[in-house]
């Protein structure tokens, strides 16, 4: 507390979050109910403000609950698309897939919250993408699979690949950019 003006506090924006299995931060970090790591990069000391901290935790958990449901709606009756910028979500997934970044669902996934929506990006840390890794043999990471097919992939994206709405958006995006 003390690093913001409570009168002008906008809970709905201004958070940069990293998905990283290591949870190597001294700031705010936790795992969702399904074990997805959440590390607040900025503001790092979010846990010192219960109102902000609970807002972020609830938003991310509500999103996960919807994405993990067989209907893609959570118990509050909201579809996961109500929590996320779908255009950014599709683009993010396509970039990681096309470049075959083996860290997908493990490390270096960033997203932020803007105006109450989760926005995936920016994409970064592609040193282990496009086959650029020397510590693995040829059969470890095949090029003929989508990210959703990978065994080590996290539940959010694995579940998304089961949703016809998400896969149709990806297909539309692929056909618009493939040439």
**For residue range 137-151, what is the model confidence (pLDDT) as tens digits?**
555 554 444 444 443
Answer for the pair 17, 40: CB distance below 8 angstroms, yes or no: yes
Percent pLDDT > 90 in the chain is 28
Query: pLDDT at residue 129 above 60?
Result: no
Which residue in 162, 166, 152, 149 sits closest to 70, CA to CA? Answer: 162
Mean of the per-residue pLDDT values of the chain: 78
- How far is residue 76's CA from residue 66's CA, in Å, rounded to a whole number? 9
Predicted pLDDT at 94:
77
What pTM does this model have? Answer: 0.78
Predicted pLDDT at 174:
86
Quickly list H helices, the chain. 50-68, 86-98, 155-160, 164-177
């Amino acid at each position: 507390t003390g690093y913001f003006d409570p009168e002008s506090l906008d809970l709905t924006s201004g958070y940069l979050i990293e998905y990283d299995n290591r949870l190597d931060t001294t700031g705010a970090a936790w795992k969702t109910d399904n074990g997805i790591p959440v590390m607040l990069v900025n503001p790092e000391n979010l846990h010192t403000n219960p109102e902000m901290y609970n807002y972020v935790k609830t938003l991310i958990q509500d999103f996960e609950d919807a994405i993990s449901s067989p209907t893609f709606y959570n118990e509050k009756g909201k579809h996961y698309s109500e929590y996320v910028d779908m255009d950014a979500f599709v683009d993010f997934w396509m970039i990681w897939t096309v470049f075959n970044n083996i860290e997908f669902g493990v490390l270096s996934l960033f997203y932020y919250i803007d105006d109450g929506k989760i926005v995936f990006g920016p994409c970064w840390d592609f040193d282990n993408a496009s086959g650029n890794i020397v510590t693995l043999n040829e059969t470890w990471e095949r090029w003929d699979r989508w990210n959703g097919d990978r065994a080590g992939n996290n539940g959010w994206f694995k579940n998304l690949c089961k949703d016809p709405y998400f896969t149709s958006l990806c297909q539309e995006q692929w056909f618009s950019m493939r040439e």
